A = this chain, B = another copy of it.
Amino acid sequence: SRSINLAVIPGDGIGQEVVAQGLKILSAVLPQDVKLETKEYDFGARRYHATGETLTDADLEQLKQHDAILLGAIGDPSVPSGVLERGFLLKLRFAFDHHVNLRPSKLLPGVGTPLAGQPEIDFVVVREGTEGPYTGNGGTIRGGTPHAVATEVSLNTAFGIERVVRDAYARAQARPRKKLALVHKNNVLVHAGHLWTDIFNKVGEEFPEVTTEYMHVDAATIYLVTQPERFDVIVTDNLFGDIITDLAAAISGGIGVAASGNINPSGRFPSMFEPVHGSAPDIAGQGKADPSATVLSVALLLRHLGYETEAARIEEAVSADLAERVGAPARTTDEIGDALAVRVAG
């Protein structure tokens, strides 16, 4: 008999509320014979204030036992910028080698976009998750003086680039349009850029059916707002991926519906799924948060674990629910969750 042993990290702000809905939908969609076990972990600002800890070795040992991780949001204004981001979110991505950071963007029918003319948007960004300027490899000398110098080092390896580029080609190959764009800035960041470009071209030889293009990151932001329909799969570096996926979320319904997966395709460590939005402390506890991004992250989680039918069912439910919202009165977080649970169960 099948089973899912899930680690649940509600986290800060609206994390609690949206994760509750994600779990509701997960229970509702799973077939009877699948045994769902969940264990909740209290990470985030509360724990940091109480103990000074963000994520210990013992925590990682425990999390490692799970099949996957569902995360709400981590971050609170009471904690200095960078502490939880680097001490928890990035630490987890690096510890579990989440090198494929998957961020789909699809403008669903009836969903608002700041762009004129409701363009067709349906692409996925494969963001590298363990290298680039995210490795914490920087420093400061003479801080606090007029002679201060601060550095940030972007680290890029053939090993790290090749595995994520290959993953992106495989995803492009599996999609109807079979298009892959590499986004970088190889005219300025020539060392990292040429390594990415060379590997991108070389791996491409294994995927003759995939049509490729190269685009500078600055140009990519232009095309994302003027011709978003041109994109199918994008592969890019950690920092460029961070930037363009927020823009991608903004044009395809907002961060209220943007899901993401921090994936270790080897399965050696559990993958983590989380909405792209943050903890939104300003609306926490008021039932105003849209749980759709978390619910769509649950769909990515299920697909990763091999439950394709259930993943698709969730995506259809969210799509139908969003379409029904147009002109309807606003509902609470819980009401949206209930409506989605009914849909996926039906």
Chain A interfacial positions (CB closer than 8 Å to B): 81-82, 85-86, 90, 113-117, 133-134, 136, 138-140, 142-159, 162, 185-195, 197-198, 217-219, 221-222, 225-226, 239, 242-247, 249-251, 254-255
Contacts and interface: CB of A to CB of B under 8 A. Distances in A.
A158 B146 contact: yes
Contact of A115 (B116, B133, B143): B116
A191 B151 contact: yes
B150 A156 contact: yes
A152 B217 contact: no
Contacts of A251: 225
Number of copies: 2
Contact of A247 (B157, B186, B188, B247): B247
B155 A149 contact: yes
Contact of A191 (B81, B139, B187, B193): B139
A189 B152 contact: yes
B255 A140 contact: no
A160 to B, nearest CB: 9
Contacts of A191: 138-140, 150-152
Ordered nearest first, which 9 A-B pairs have the shortest CB separation? Answer: A218-B246, A221-B247, A148-B158, A138-B191, A150-B191, A152-B154, A222-B250, A85-B187, A150-B195
B189 A138 contact: yes
